[in-house]
Amino acid sequence: MTIYSEKQSDTNYARINELDLFRFLAALAVVFHHFSLDGFAIDSMTIMPYSSLASISKYGYLGVELFFIMSGFVILMTASNGSLKKFTISRLVRLYPAFWVCCTITFVITLAIGAPEYFATLRQYLINMTMLSEFFGVPPMDGVYWSLFVELRFYALIIILLIFGRIHQIEFFIVFWLIAVITLEFFPNYWLRYFFITDYAVFFIAGAAFFLIWAKGITWIRSAVIAITWIYAVYLTTDEVHEVEARIRNDLSPYVIASIISTFFAVMLLVSFKRTGVLGHLNWAWIGALTYPLYLIHQNIGFMIYNTTYTAFNPHALFWGLVIGILMLAYTIHIYVEKPLAKTMRNHLNKFTSNSEKLIQRITSNQKH
């Protein structure tokens, strides 16, 4: 998920500063959830609990839902100019450089200190580097990769619209998508549910509707989509409360969950109406840049460090030291690896696609003659 300018016909879409901040806060909520509670609760992924934050951080898993809403907003912004080439290159450059680095670091640290709880094979690592391990039935190097697989399925739907030149009909598509998702709730079909990403589609759809309001203004259709997705999002997240409680071994309040989801929608509505005040005028790009590597690198590495150092350090010092250390690592990855690698990758992809287009034009021209 990236926040940056894209151009559609004569419309220049400016950077939306506040989304960088919201992305970072969502990632930090997930980090606190994992480090203070989730890792200890689930199959003893780590031996260290940190109960001081558990009463709050137990709701941190909902940060992923906010990610998906913002992804619906930003991905539609990225695709709205109708260029399949630009969209594909922007996604490859945004996703892969940081992923390759984080996946490699996770693999190396797993080999070094992961045993016996964590292990990895070279085959697993190599397939993970494609970011398609789920589709090969290979376990991810880190559990947080599950959300990337959800994102990739969303990208695939957008790419289909771009291939057929129908991105301008996105409003019709998200209405159809929402109807399909609700219908499949009552008449489930595994493959259709997988294709339409029914467990998380409501968040992507909401994000897309928020973007349309931000870019083109409010209409009754967009208002209806927001209202329906909000109701459905509250239903989905509160309906799974017992499943999550069993996973994290903590009680959750459906009312708190509903309030958090409602807050996400309210905040994104303010973004859509450009009413975020001073937050929208401050530059949060530096902190937003940490989000992706922070999310990718924190979980398994954090758990493994816990397991090897828990008995040697004060739990408070270890917890906060680990949080700060992971943030510093994410910053280092972004500045010294992700940015230069992404720039090089973008240049090569642009050059490759330009040469390919010229070659196709030459072949087509020769065939005509």
Collapse the DSSP code of 11 into the 3-class scheme (helix H, G, I; strand E, B; otherwise coil) and give the result. strand
Domain boundaries, the chain: 16-368
The pLDDT tens digits of the residues spanning 265-301 come to 999 999 999 999 898 889 998 899 999 999 999 999 9
pLDDT score recorded for residue 332:
95
The one-character DSSP state at 232 is H
139-146, long-range: CB within 8 Å, 24+ apart, which pairs? 141/103, 141/106, 141/107, 141/110, 141/300, 142/102, 142/103, 142/106, 142/296, 142/299, 142/300, 142/301, 143/299, 143/300, 144/30, 144/295, 144/296, 144/298, 144/299, 145/296
What pLDDT was estimated at residue 360?
66
- Structure token digits, residue 209: 């509707």
Q: What mean pLDDT, rounded, does the chain reach? A: 89
- Residues 19 and 3: their CA atoms lie apart, in Å, by 7
pLDDT per position as a tens digit, 131-153: 999 989 999 999 999 999 999 99
Instruction: Please list the ranges in the chain whose pLDDT falls under 70.
Output: 1-14, 38-45, 47-48, 357, 359-360, 364-369
Residue by residue, DSSP assigns 119-132 as: ---HHHHHHHTTT-
On whether the CB atoms of residues 92 and 152 are closer than 8 A, the answer is no
CA-based nearest residue to 157, from 75, 234, 57, 48: 75
**Cα of 200 vs its chain's centroid, Å:** 11
Give the pLDDT confidence of 63-88 residue by residue, as tens digits: 999 999 999 999 999 999 888 999 99
pLDDT at 246: 84
Q: Residue 209: what pLDDT?
A: 98
Report pLDDT for 6.
Answer: 35
pLDDT at 115: 86
Q: What is the DSSP letter of 109?
A: H
Q: Which residues 6+ apart lie within 8 Å of 105 measured at CB?
A: 297, 301, 333
**What is the pLDDT, as a whole number, of residue 39?**
61
Report pLDDT for 183. 96
- Which of 179, 263, 171 minimizes the C-alpha distance to 228? 179
- In degrees, rounded to 5, the angle at the alpha carbon of residue 176 between the alpha carbons of residues 170 and 180 is 140
287: which 2 tokens?
């902190």
Burial per residue of 132-157, b for 16 or more beta-carbon CB atoms within 10 angstroms, e otherwise: ebbeeebebbbbbbebbebbebbbeb
Which pTM value belongs to this model?
Answer: 0.91
